[in-house]
A and B are shown apart, each in its own frame.
Chain A
Amino acid sequence: MEGFLLHATRAVAGASAAAGLIAVAATGCGSSGSAASADEPSSASGAAKARPVSAAQLARLPQATTFGTVRGAPVDPEPSALLDGTVLHPAKDTAVYDKPGGKPIAALPAKQLKGPTWVPVIAEKAGWRQVLLPSRPNHATGWLPGGGDVKEATSSYRIDVSLKQHRLTVTDGGRKAGSWPVAVGTGKNPTPTGRTFVLASLSPSHPTYSKLIFPLGTHSNSLDRFGGGPGTVALHGWPDQSVFGRDVSHGCVRMPQKALDTLASVPLGSPVQIV
């Protein structure tokens, strides 16, 4: 089984570098405001004003993608708390700040992994929304100012993964949409816990082990890279049922193939709680 896994990951390794370039290129061409000095003090009182960020400045910021690392990002203060399903999509590449009225720390691209970027809201303050970021380190967050070209929506879906029980459960509007036994990471390469989100819905060019792969906004804490990728943890199918109920993966959550149809309906940005 291990050989099968390695084979599968190598088979898709060649495409990952291209994916990274696409994401970076996409973020480099947008702008979220007029030119201003990065040292300009912010208005932090009352309705905090967003510090303008030029296109050039935005391009120099770390990319809030699954390939990026956003150093200095505020850490999710309550990784075990539930989310309400509010999700945001930046219609264009947008600066993310360290606090309302604070300094820009990253660029959140409108698209990544060839799909639209949707991130979940974890808090609100003074018209700003704090969102989970898909980049490293795990539990990285950032603040988005109100207004602008940010689309808001609500996902009624939620995914719960119990590592101990080896079970993944999908609920829609609080009602169970499906629940399956799963395989999770080993003790050496555990599946990271806490709240994260569905980052993308991918149809791999060589569906060796799953016709759909759902990368999450979290990464392996033990593997900086894996198979040529950035160590992104994902939900995906697995053909060999003997793995379910066991700790066998490098961090991903392997599900029965029949779960994929339900997962395919879950909007991007939907909360995923791993405990």
Chain B
Amino acid sequence: MSAVRHVRRAAAGAAVVVSVAALATGPAGADRAPTGHGSAFGLSANGPVSVPVISAVASHGKPAERSLVSVPDNPLLSAKVLHTNAEKAKARASVADVLIKKLKLKANAVTAKCTQGMGSVDLVAAELDGKRLAVSPSPNSALHADLGPLGKATVTLNKQTRNADGTLTVTAVEARVPVAGKMETVTISSATCGKEQAAQPAPQKPGGPKAPKPTPVHHDLPVTG
């Protein structure tokens, strides 16, 4: 609850903060995400090397879109052309020319899509340590890489997390890599969406007799043709 409130206060000033908080915590149960929520971000890294959330968008009914052509220089990863968009119950994040040197992870394009609370991932020419990765990996596909003396890394493809408010977060690639003796978490292409509230039924009340078939009555009413 407090995280969400914080996000709402901060929203006017910093769109990046909005997505960071919303995606990191998910709106609390009592303060549910609005119907048709959608948000996305291109990439982020948390750990010894900090790359802030890049190309974040959030939509609460209105379409939002963002594109960037590069990420800030850093020793961990590089990428070009980050495109994110979000609209009602829909979000998409795509990052091109991804390279995480330490992991030998590269891809021409990494895309996460979320539609009506359902997620999918597309990986174009993605490789981990020289091995080609599936174009459409199954949800939560975990891969492990031994980096020798540096330690072991874990790469999760198509990571799907159901949030407390019912929205789904799909992350195309999440890598946990040892850096300087600590774990670094790199997130590439993440999209979060809820279901458009198509059915919000009125009072579900089983029972009650079946409403009668009407008997047409002989009557005239001028209507709007």
Contact = CB atoms under 8 A, between A and B. Distances in A.
Interface of A: 5, 8-9, 12-16, 19, 66, 78, 81-87, 113-115, 118, 120-124, 129, 152-156, 185, 189, 198, 200-206, 212-213, 215, 220, 223, 226-229, 231-234, 236, 249-252, 254, 264-270
A272 to B, nearest CB: 14
A268 B225 CA distance: 20
Which 6 A-B pairs have CB atoms at the shortest separation, nearest pair first? A229-B222, A267-B211, A227-B222, A251-B224, A15-B220, A234-B223
Contact of A267 (B199, B207, B214, B220): B214
B72 interface: no
Contact of B222 (A121, A185, A228, A254): A228
Contacts of B199: 81-82
Provide the main secondary structure of the chain B interface: loop
Contacts of A19: 219-221
Given A8-B225, A226-B223, A201 B218 contact: no
Contacts of B217: 113-115, 200-203
Contacts of A118: 211
Given A223-B224, A226-B225, A250-B225, A212 B202 contact: no
B218 A205 contact: yes
B70 to A, nearest CB: 40
A8 B225 CA distance: 8
Interface residues of B, number: 28
A82 B217 CA distance: 28
Interface of B: 197-205, 207-225
Contacts of B219: 15, 19, 113-115, 200, 202-205
Q: Max chain A CB contacts within 10 Å: which of B205, B213, B215, B221? A: B221
B201 A82 contact: yes
Contacts of A86: 202-203, 205, 208
A230 B182 CA distance: 74
Q: Max chain B CB contacts within 10 Å: which of A153, A198, A205, A236? A: A153
A19 to B, nearest CB: 6
Given A87-B211, A203-B217, A81 B200 contact: yes
Given A86-B203, A118-B211, A267-B212, A200 B221 contact: yes
B102 to A, nearest CB: 50
Contacts of A254: 225
A57 to B, nearest CB: 28
B201 A83 contact: yes
A201 B216 contact: yes
Contact of B220 (A12, A115, A156, A264): A12
Nearest to A2: B225
Contact of B216 (A85, A121, A212, A229): A212
Contact of B224 (A12, A129, A232, A267): A232
Nearest to A16: B222
Contacts of B211: 85, 87, 118, 153-156, 267-270
Contact of A249 (B210, B220, B224): B224
24 contacts: A9-B223, A19-B221, A81-B199, A82-B202, A83-B201, A84-B201, A114-B218, A115-B217, A121-B202, A122-B202, A129-B203, A153-B208, A153-B209, A153-B211, A201-B214, A201-B216, A202-B217, A202-B221, A203-B217, A203-B218, A203-B219, A206-B220, A223-B224, A232-B224
Contact of B221 (A66, A85, A266): A66
A155 B202 CA distance: 13
Nearest to B209: A153
B208 A250 contact: no
Q: Max chain A CB contacts within 10 Å: which of B197, B217, B221, B224? A: B224
A78 B203 CA distance: 13
A153 B200 contact: no
Nearest to A271: B202
Nearest to A118: B211
Given A12-B222, A252-B225, A268-B214, 14 more contacts: A16-B221, A81-B200, A83-B201, A153-B210, A154-B210, A185-B224, A200-B214, A229-B224, A232-B221, A233-B223, A234-B221, A250-B224, A251-B224, A267-B214
A191 B222 CA distance: 16
Contacts of B222: 9, 12-13, 16, 226-229, 232
Given A83-B201, A84-B203, A124-B203, A205 B220 contact: yes
Contact of B203 (A113, A121, A249, A265): A121
Contacts of A231: 224
A121 B209 CA distance: 15
